[in-house]
Amino acid sequence: MNSIVGVNVQSEIGKLQGVIIHTPGEEVENMTPGNAERALYSDIINLSIAREEFKQLNGVLSKLTKTYEVRDLLYNVLKDEKNKQEVLDRIEVIEPFIGAPSLKGSLKEQLMDKDAKELARLLIEGVEMTKDTLTKFLSKDWYSLRPLHNLFFTRDASMSIYNKVLIGRMANAVRDRESVIMRSIFDFTPEFATSTLNLPVPNGVYKPRRVSIEGGDVLIAREDVLVIGNGSRTTTQAIDELIYEFINRKTEHVQHIIVQQLPHTPESFIHLDMVFTFLDRDKCMVFEPLIMNPGSANQTVHIRIQNGKVLSIRNEKNILSALKKLGMDLEPVLCGGSDEWNQEREQWHSGANFLCVGPGQVVGYGRNNYTIEAMNDAGFDIIRANDIIEGRAKLDDRTVCVITIDGSELPRGGGGARCMTMPVNRSAVKW
């Protein structure tokens, strides 16, 4: 594993210096059409193909930055017996709220007896249920500890905000263990040199989910500007709690939070980064029908904070208009190009979801032909992932490009390159 860098992310576009990923494993295949919806999938995916596609993303990132696998980081944490006990204690708190059997008793003892490598695997891939009682025998559940089908979307359960890590409060209880794992990784890996920020659980009860926030909705535009989606995965109450965190900083500088309301349907709108991502200092990717003309049903709200006080909350025309007033004049590149039919089709398959590895250097799915063509028209060279991996293409600071990865299976899980990566360090951007 690469030497670990400290947490420091001041923008979406700074050169990537360290990123956490999770290669899809057996937890993805431990799913049937019958439980796919409960696992938050609209379809089941082919693991072998998904792994080959993810291998391209991993290969590109390994050439350009330091990468860290969740499984390796968790293994290192669990090698310490005190850490192991604490991680299992944290999981014990949340498991009953997803309708799973309690972690108390024999199951917890069984897990405590596992070595760190095996325990890391079980916490990710799940623990099969021993049918040793009538209740278990008649249960339709195959697992005492359910697999984490969504873990390869590492963005959602934790997010680097400046030099801290905000731990996701997941909108769906089946993903709570992802947050526990990511929180534990940052709490017990001192090299990250960070502290975790955990939003409160109302009355200590994990449902109903009035306070939820996921990383796909949180974008750092600049050191003083956050752009946050408010929709099915991130609630207004969670954003309010985040505002309090900014208030507590009591900075002399004005801090800005731009909130974009999102429709709860279709499911491809689950996060802001499915309709809006940053590409460069002066360019962004947008799903035009929603971002350029959000309308009264999906308001854009600008919140200003200074010296421990909310200075103002007001409506804006759209995200781009709000950012322009703050000195960020962004040219929109249209997901799916100019045709509404193509826009809808390609947004559905994460056509707006790009990861910046540096200013003007992004990674996304090559399958979205009209989106890639629009980027080419906007000045981005098109580079295939394998050309980076095999050394036929190299990037320097002047390169403006989109690196395309294959995506026939991965998009069916509901996300793109940004969803599958959790940056922990980026270089400062010269604005």
Rounded distance between C-alpha atoms, residue 425 and residue 313, angstroms: 31
What domains can be seen in the chain, in order of their start residue?
16-80+147-426 (3.75.10.10)
What is the reported pLDDT for 251?
77
User: If you average pLDDT over every residue of the chain, what do you get?
Assistant: 90
Q: Is the pLDDT of residue 207 over 70?
A: no
Listed in sequence order, the DSSP H helices in 44-101 are 47-64, 70-78, 81-94
Query: Percentage of residues in the chain with pLDDT exceeding 90?
Result: 73
Q: What is the pLDDT of residues 71-120, one digit of tens each?
A: 999 999 999 999 999 999 999 887 554 444 455 557 888 899 999 999 99
Q: Which long-range contacts (CB under 8 A, 24 or more apart) does 240-249 make?
A: 241/199, 241/200, 241/211, 242/166, 242/199, 242/213, 243/303, 243/305, 243/310, 245/197, 246/305, 247/305, 247/308, 247/309, 247/310, 248/308
pLDDT tens, 295-304?
A: 888 999 999 9
Tell me whether residue 409 is exposed, middle or buried, using C-beta atoms within 10 angstroms of its C-beta: 0 to 12, 13 to 18, 19 or more: buried
Residue range 128-169, pLDDT digits in tens: 877 777 877 777 777 888 899 999 999 999 999 999 999 999
User: What separation, in Å, do the N-terminal and C-terminal C-alpha atoms of the chain show?
Assistant: 33
Determine how β-strand 283-286 pairs with β-strand 276-280: antiparallel
Separation between Cα atoms, residue 402 and residue 397, nearest integer Å: 14
Q: With residue 2 as reference, give the H or E element that holds it.
A: none
pLDDT for 42 equals 56
| pLDDT tens readout for residues 16-61 | 999 999 999 999 876 665 554 444 455 678 889 999 999 999 999 9
Q: Are 27 and 125 in contact (CB under 8 A)?
A: yes
What confidence tier does 262 reach under pLDDT thresholds 50, 70, 90? very high
pLDDT of residue 37: 47
- Distance (Å, whole) CA 358 – CA 400: 9
Percent of the chain with pLDDT over 70: 92
User: Which pLDDT tens digit goes with each residue over 331-375?
Assistant: 999 999 999 999 999 999 999 999 999 999 999 999 999 999 999
Residue 308, pLDDT score: 82
pLDDT at 39: 44
**Closest residue by Cα to residue 108 from 132, 124, 127, 125:** 127
CA separation for the pair 86, 404 (Å, rounded): 41
Chain centre to alpha carbon of residue 424: 12
What type of residue sits at position 176? D
